[in-house]
Amino acid sequence: MTDETPPDRVFRDGLAEGRIRLQRCGGCEAFVFYPRVLCPHCHSTDLSWQDASGDGVIHTTTTVRQKPERGGDYNVCMVELAEGVRMMSRVEDVDPPGVRIGMAVRAVVGEIDGAPAIVLHAKEA
Amino acid sequence: MAHELRGKSAIAGLGVAGLGEAPGWTAWDIMARASLAALDDAGLTLGDVDGLFCAMMEDTMPALYAAEYLGIRPRYVDGTMTGGSSFVNYLGSATAALAAGLCDVALICYGSNQRTASGKLVTASKPPPYEAPYRPRYPISAYAMAAARHMHEFGTTREQLADVAVAARGWAAENPEASTRDPLTREEVLASRMVNDPLSVRDCCLVTDGGGALVLVRAERARDMPQTPVYVLGSAAASHHRQISQMPDFTTTAAKESGARAYAMAGVTPDQFDVVETYDAFTINTVLFMEDLGFCAKGEGGAFVADGAIAPGGRLPVNTNGGGLSCTHPGMYGIFTVIEGARQIQRRAPGVQIEGVDLALAHGNGGVLSSQVTAVLGSAATL
């Protein structure tokens, strides 16, 4: 292999610094998520890193029902970032059934189970 | 010009075992009993099997385990794992292997004891690293998000989804092999416990034990065997993602592609099917597959399945055994779509026998709407 840093490491090191880093393809200019060694759209290996804007829209969502004694209901959703990539995440500051498709959100680095993770906050309407 | 593999193989035997609950039996026992039943059906024995096609959740090398358990040394083995669609997928690879002379008797087999052994879906899948922190429930959260998106884009309703479950129960009520046969109404589905919005517990498939097996041979040999041959007229697979977060379009599955290619291979159009057997892991599946397999336009699946249209007496017989929702779902249901389609063609459906079935569709789904495999099955009249 080369002396480059493995993409998953770059991504996770970014999260540890509070940054959401996405790969961008030099061949077709598409953003790529999850991190990998080639562009899944055009198969170029010319990938560079760029910080995400953090702007996103809820693409779809569900409320996972769970008994209160086990932690209660929680949100699982797909967010589409302004860069065009989608990822799984959760909205942290809205009651789960209140998370709606089309809702504008801000993706930030939060913490889940002691590790940095991308979470979502609703934008003011 | 017809595809060179069209009609070149035929299902010569089929069998099921342990449907519902099979306490104390291992998944391998259930697989073996289904295999013996299928071979007996075909008038063959294990000694005749030289091609083995097997996927199970018990082991990462299930085909090897199955060969060992059965005491056979096949010269052709396929253990390709595409989830619940695997067995529909094997119709294609077995047909190619038979046609190429790489084997002469292909056994496709499966068994599971997930209900009595664990009470829940058994999966060997690890949570994907970029999804795991958010604790999606595998696989229902994925299907729930597809359903939510379909409702958002097309106005599909929970009532329409509920009617898929009601239709499945209507078929199951007449099927002695089905696990759940008591009456079910739309209101009961809507009032049942919500699991992952918008899917309630009655939008979800059963968790059962069970196994199934198929014996395939070259078409010319099948004509001289005991059962009415069921010919594989077409089969095709497509996959656009593995993880739900990578699904390109949450309202269109790769079935659009697998269906089109299978129809082209078979030289058929959707309106010609007498029965349609699809993998209904959740009610949304049937809606998506009606659209993607060409029975209605994109976005019209909810209206298409509503009000008894796919129930007994409706306009299109869909999942005539009761499906994964009400007949059986041992974890990888796909083989039962083939078994029910074949039995309909052979005039020996255990439940409702549709009159004059010559052409059946069997469609398998794997993962989280990930793998889509479509097969076209036909009687001798369709050759």
Q: Tens digit of pLDDT for each residue in B34-84?
A: 999 999 999 999 999 999 999 999 999 999 999 999 999 999 999 999 999
Note whether B63 and B53 are within 8 A (CB). yes
What is the spatial distance between Cα B265 and Cα B270, in angstroms, rounded to a whole number?
13
> Rounded to an integer, what distance in angstroms lies between the CA atom of residue B295 and that of residue A10?
46
**Topology (CATH) of A55-122:** OB fold (Dihydrolipoamide Acetyltransferase, E2P) (2.40.50)
Beta-carbon separation of B133 and A86 below 8 A: no
* Over residues A75-100, mean pLDDT: 98
Residue A2: per-residue pLDDT: 59
Instruction: Quickly state the pLDDT bin for B280 (edges 50, 70, 90).
Output: very high
Q: Is A59–B149 a contact, with Cβ atoms under 8 angstroms apart?
A: yes
| Residue B182 β-bridge partners | none
pLDDT in tens, B153-195: 999 999 999 999 999 999 999 999 999 999 999 999 999 999 9
Residue B150 has pLDDT above 90, yes or no: yes
Q: Could you tell me the strand order of the sheet in which B230-239 lies? A: B76-78, B51-54, B106-112, B209-218, B9-20, B230-239, B371-378, B359-366, B275-278
| Residue of A34, A62, A86 to mutate, testing the B interface (most B Cβ within 10 Å of its Cβ) | A62
Please report which confidence band the pLDDT of residue B125 belongs to, taking 50, 70 and 90 as the band edges.
confident
Selecting from A65, A74, A112 the residue whose C-beta is nearest the C-beta of B195 gives: A65
Summarised one tens digit per residue, pLDDT across range A22-33 is: 999 999 999 999
User: In this complex, is the C-beta atom of A34 within 8 Å of any C-beta atom belonging to chain B?
Assistant: yes
Does the structure show a pLDDT above 80 at A18?
yes
Q: Which residue of A has its CA nearest to B249?
A: A59
For B331-365, write each residue's pLDDT tens digit.
Answer: 999 999 999 999 999 999 999 999 999 999 999 99
Please give the span between the terminal C-alpha atoms of chain A, in angstroms, as a whole number. Answer: 48
- Nearest Cα residue in chain A from B201: A65
Percent of chain B with pLDDT over 70: 99
3-state secondary structure of B313: coil
- Output the pLDDT for position A125: 62
Which 8-state DSSP code applies to residue B380? G
**HEC per residue, A5-40:** CCHHHHHHHHHHCCCCEEEEECCCCCEECCCCCCCC
**Which phi-psi region, left, alpha or beta, contains residue B331 (left: φ > 0; alpha: ψ -120 to 50)?**
left
Average pLDDT over residues B243-257: 98
Query: Rounded to the nearest 10 degrees, what angle do helices B62-70 and B27-42 cross at?
Result: 60
B137-202+234-382 classified as CATH 3.40.47.10: yes
Where do you find CATH 2.40.50 in chain A? 55-122
Calculate what percentage of chain B has a pLDDT beyond 90. 97
Q: How far is A108 from chain B (nearest CA, A)?
A: 14
Of A61, A65, A74, the CB nearest to B148: A61
Q: Which residues of B touch A97 (CB under 8 A)?
A: 197
Q: Is the pTM of this model over 0.80?
A: yes
Contact A88 B134 (CB under 8 A): yes
Residue B304 CA to its chain's centroid (Å): 21
One-character DSSP codes across B44-77: --GGG--EEEE--SS-SSHHHHHHHHHT---SEE
Distance from CA of B39 to the nearest CA of A (A): 44
At A4 the pLDDT is 85
State the count of interchain CB pairs (< 8 A) between A and B. 69
Domain covering B9-119+208-231, topology: Peroxisomal Thiolase; Chain A, domain 1 (3.40.47)
Question: Distance between CA A2 and CA B242 in Å, rounded?
Answer: 28
* Numbers of helices and strands, H then E, in chain A: 1, 8
CB pair distance less than 8 Å for A64 and B131? no
Report chain B's mean pLDDT, rounded to a whole number.
Answer: 97
A-chain CB neighbours of B198 within 8 Å are: 62
Q: Is the peptide bond before B198 cis (omega within 30 degrees of 0)?
A: yes
Q: Do B141 and A74 touch (CB under 8 A)?
A: no
Would the pLDDT of B241 be above 70? Answer: yes
Of A60, A87, A88, the CB nearest to B149: A60
Contacts of B152 in chain A (CB under 8 A): 60, 101-102
**Residue range(s) occupied by CATH 3.40.47.10 in chain B:** 9-119+208-231, 137-202+234-382
